[in-house]
Amino acid sequence: MIKPHGSETLNPLYVVDETQRAALLKEAEGLPSLVICSAAAANAVMLGSGYFNPLTGYMNVTEAMSVAEKMALPNGLFWPTPVMNVVKAEQVTDDIRNAKRIALRDPNVEGNPVLAVMEVQAVEKISPEQMKTLVEQTFRTQDTEHPGVAAFTSVGNVALSGPIQVLNFSYFEKDFPGTFRTAWQIRDEIAQAGWEKVVAFQTRNPMHRAHEELCKMAKEAVNADGILIHMLLGKLKKGDIPADARDASIRKMVELYFPPNTVLITGYGFDMLYAGPREAALHAVFRQNCGCTHLIVGRDHAGVGKYYGPFDAQAVFDDIPKGALEIEIFRADHTAYSRKLNKVVMMRDHPDHKPEDYVFLSGTKVREMLTAGEALPEEFARPEVAAILAKHYQSEAGE
């Protein structure tokens, strides 16, 4: 199996030993504590899960700036996005500033339970110039209409950095017990399946016919043993389909339209960045940490609005030094149903086609049809998938 990023073995930061975990929870009761932002909590879950291997905790400002400017830590390790714990200045009391260790509390679970214990190595103010660089380099824009920029710039300007010990996986295990998986759990499942070559498909959306066929095309093209469908379970922008509806529709699609024992359906606990190229590179890091050998990167991967070109998320891999990642990228074009050929095709393979030869529906049109109870064309979506999504949209409309 492919080795993790930056180390020979996976080193998740979750405290597996129950006795040690109980001792840390008891210690946390007497530590200064801080309710962190959702992004920092998601970073803790990803660190605990092993997806952010080999990081040992939150980056300091120097490390984050190096990542933003060079896509690498000061020690040379490839890393595409800052992994930080940023808070507002008023949250940093003297107790926090002077503490050697603090308890980090979960903003997304009632009662704000302790999520992790952190060794405080630095408490640093992020200057306006540094914040501008972090935002511009990560998101390629300063526009606060961009949901990732808005989230990043709204949480404060003080960075707390240092190693962490993670004590739970926030709400993800409880809310998605059949879907949430750590990186080491996915590695174990891949090993048990006997798969050597695995292609990963990232999704924050439901999967329509084009996505289904893209996974099958990629599996065949790289001669993979199996497919990892890996869905984001964390915070999204307004209007995106919630994880429970996506999960149900994807499971139905796989059950009915994929050969048995060829797909793992899993999810991970992270808030979407919508950072386009940089997030695509991050997706590659944590799919390598899962044990996948290939990642599908398609048109406008991890993008939003008009902030990125359609294939910028593929081009970023041309800028990554050779050998920095072991995972390989399957570069996909837009896929759509061809009326001429009566099947889903990759558009670059059919230069003879005109736009009217394809079945296209905008996201807005899809939502309107589902809300109205209208059937989507079978060339666009499997009827069983569309029925699950229609139920979600109609319940939203009825609220």
Single-letter code of the amino acid located at 53: N
Closest Cα partner for 243 from 154, 176, 329? Answer: 176
- Give yes or no: residues 149 and 27 share one domain: yes
- Give yes or no: residues 258 and 393 share one domain: yes
Task: Output the CA angle 43-48-51, nearest 5 degrees.
Answer: 70
What pLDDT score does 93 carry? 96
- Give yes or no: residues 108 and 243 share one domain: no
Single-letter code of the amino acid located at 160: L
What pLDDT score does 240 carry? 80
- Give yes or no: residues 181 and 160 share one domain: no
- Give yes or no: residues 315 and 236 share one domain: yes
- Give yes or no: residues 96 and 193 share one domain: no
Chunk the chain into consecutive blocks of 10 residues (it has 399) and report each block's average pLDDT, rounded to whole numbers. 96 98 98 98 98 98 98 98 98 96 98 98 98 98 97 97 98 95 98 98 93 97 98 87 90 97 97 97 98 96 95 97 97 94 95 94 84 90 93 80
User: Could you say which of 170, 205, 240 is where a domain stops?
Assistant: 170
What pLDDT score does 399 carry? 59
User: Could you say which of 170, 203, 224 is where a domain stops?
Assistant: 170
Condensed to tens digits (0 to 9), the pLDDT of residues 310-368 reads 999 999 999 999 999 999 999 999 999 999 999 999 999 999 999 999 998 877 788 88
- Give yes or no: residues 208 and 316 share one domain: yes
CATH of the domain at 389: 3.40.50.620
- Give yes or no: residues 30 and 55 share one domain: yes
CA distances for 393 relative to 135, 245, 359, angstroms: 34, 10, 22
Is the residue at 11 inside a domain? no
Q: CA 165 to CA 23: how far, in whole Å?
A: 12
Is the residue at 13 inside a domain? no
Q: CA 39 to CA 202: how far, in whole Å?
A: 19
Structural domain including 51 reads 18-170
- Give yes or no: residues 95 and 162 share one domain: yes
What pLDDT score does 178 carry? 93
- Give yes or no: residues 107 and 84 share one domain: yes
Strand 158-166 to 114-119 pairing: antiparallel
Number of domains in the chain: 2
User: Could you say which of 151, 170, 189 is where a domain stops?
Assistant: 170
> pTM of the full predicted structure?
0.96
Is the residue at 12 inside a domain? no
Catalytic residue numbers, as ranges: 204-205
End-to-end alpha carbon distance in the chain: 48
Is the residue at 382 inside a domain? yes
